Chain A
Amino acid sequence: MPETQEPRTAAEPPGSGTPAPTKLSIEKLNVSFGSVTALSDVSLDIADGEFVCILGASGCGKSTLFNVVSGLLKATSGKIVLDGQDVSSRPGQVGYMLQKDLMLPWRTVLGNITLAASLTRGATAQDRAEAAELASRYGLGDFLNHYPHALSGGMRQRVAMMRTIAAGRQVMLLDEPFGALDAQTRLGMQQWLLQLWRDLKRTILFVTHDVDEAIYLADRIVVMTPRPGRIAEILTVDLPRPRPLEVLTTDTFVGLKRQIMQHLYH
């Protein structure tokens, strides 16, 4: 039995009166590959239902952080606590959408969305019906029986996202899910994701290179710097939700952007 901890509170998400309990704690992570220190003393508490963006230059250890949180990679030191339980090096506790879309070409959209069920116990008629419902609600209803090669890049990303959702984990790690998309598609996908997050009430960690994307999506932004990868600053995004596109030009938005840019390109 893991010892029960006093529920701590993460930084208060804006807008809500009472602070949400901590869902996930990243505690003093250090990761080195030989002589390369990929992560140095990274600590972060994430509240239940929070949307946190992780922003940083290439090579500052964002994917490494996700690999450790997901349990794929063993940290040199430090631990991951989910719902008060130590889940370090225990894969499968959180959902992880990797940088590549990783579709199985021989499975249809529906088959790819229900992948987690097929891999664990075999997909049931109900799994398929639920997946179809999910896909229809978020704009893929006409493509349930399509193979991935017949989809656009944006649609494939949406399928990958739904697959992550259908796996049913409360915490989802999304590693640059929109990295390969053009600016316009990207904006549409961001709005789509926000809608999804509002409906599903999951906790999201989202890696991106794009400052605008981070501000538009996040409750909090974690800015990381490379060599060694560490957290430089954590900013709270004080923009009301739902966020219309007009927030992209408000003073708060531009002010945050300036602040972040100073960290990234000093």
Chain B
Amino acid sequence: MNIRFGAAAGPFMIWVVAMVLILVAWQVLVWVSGLPPYVIPPPALAFQTLFDNWPRLSVLTGQTLYETAIGYVLGALIGFLLALAMGQIRVVQRLVMPALIISQAVPIVAIAAPLVIIFGFGITPKLIIVAWIVFFPVVVNVLDGLASVDRDMLNLARLMGGGGLRTFAIVKLPACIGPLFSGLKIGATYAVTGAVIGEWTASSKQGLGTYLLTANAQMNTAGVYAAMLLLTVIGVGSFLLVFGLEVLMTPWRSRSTAPAWAQWKPSQPTS
């Protein structure tokens, strides 16, 4: 709710203010604690490191971003389809739900190791971990959306002669879009964490996660912070992207009239 309100009040300014506040707090912490830069580097040093190592860091960012994005889309797609199947067929829901909850109760770090043993050092285990994290909030929210459809609305659709497929597309599916995005927004901030955990377990290709490990081992604290900054940008960027998509795809939530392209105009030719 606050996010929606913030978006309406001027999305750009609010984000600028938030980032400045965080940087100021970071700088103040450095001053007040009096800790040396190899324990807490000041923001300026972190940014300096970031820019100095940009050629390398940009490649690593690309790799992590790639894992995050593909895994995210995969998880979202699987979660959405699974929820639709579960919502349509009661038995499937009864059978699958406990399995889903168990899957989420197992610590993700514990899952990472066996995945690497099974799938090797390539990109597959990273994608699975990211998808694993993303699909659960999607399933739960989409199921809620399906369950929120009014029984009487379905009765009305039946009285109007609506077949199963059309009723699904017109009455049920749109009711899931809002909840779908609630799930996707939760997933968007977690997905990058999944990619990092995947890289920590084992990697043939370097990403920000692997860089984080090496920088840490070398006491390259400024490097750690630079990677942290980049990971944060990926997380926030994913969230904003999903949020923007949500606003576009659920115009009835934020607007009082249909967007121009969807408006009916009397001049339209009648056939």
A104 touches B256 (CB 8 A): no
Q: A126-B271, A129-B266 are in contact. List 20 more A-B contacts (CB 8 A).
A: A72-B159, A91-B159, A92-B161, A95-B159, A96-B156, A98-B156, A102-B152, A102-B156, A105-B252, A106-B174, A108-B263, A119-B167, A120-B163, A125-B270, A129-B270, A132-B264, A145-B257, A145-B262, A147-B257, A149-B252
Provide the A161-197 mask, 1 if CB < 8 A to any CB of B, else 0. Answer: 0000001000000000000000000000000000000
A71 touches B159 (CB 8 A): yes
Of all chain B residues, which has the CB nearest A96? B159
A-B contact count (CB 8 A): 92
Count of A residues near B, CB < 8 Å?
Answer: 33
A-B contact pairs, 26 of them (CB 8 A): A71-B159, A72-B159, A92-B160, A95-B159, A98-B155, A100-B150, A102-B153, A105-B252, A108-B258, A108-B262, A108-B264, A115-B160, A118-B170, A119-B160, A120-B166, A125-B270, A128-B264, A128-B268, A129-B266, A129-B270, A132-B264, A132-B266, A145-B257, A145-B263, A147-B251, A147-B258
A150 touches B256 (CB 8 A): yes
> Is B115 on the interface with A (CB-CB < 8 A)?
no
B170 touches A115 (CB 8 A): yes
**Given contacts A102-B150, A104-B170, A146-B257, A116 and B264 within 8 Å (CB-CB):** no
Which residues in window 43-75 of B have CB below 8 A to A? none
B166 touches A118 (CB 8 A): yes
Q: Which B residues are CB-close (under 8 A) to A72?
A: 155, 158-159
Which residues in window 59-83 of A have CB below 8 A to B? 70-72
**Given contacts A72-B159, A120-B166, A150-B257, A104 and B171 within 8 Å (CB-CB):** yes
Pairs A-B, 4 closest by C-beta atoms: A119-B162, A150-B256, A116-B160, A106-B174
Most A CB contacts (10 A, CB to CB) among B153, B157, B167, B264 go to: B264
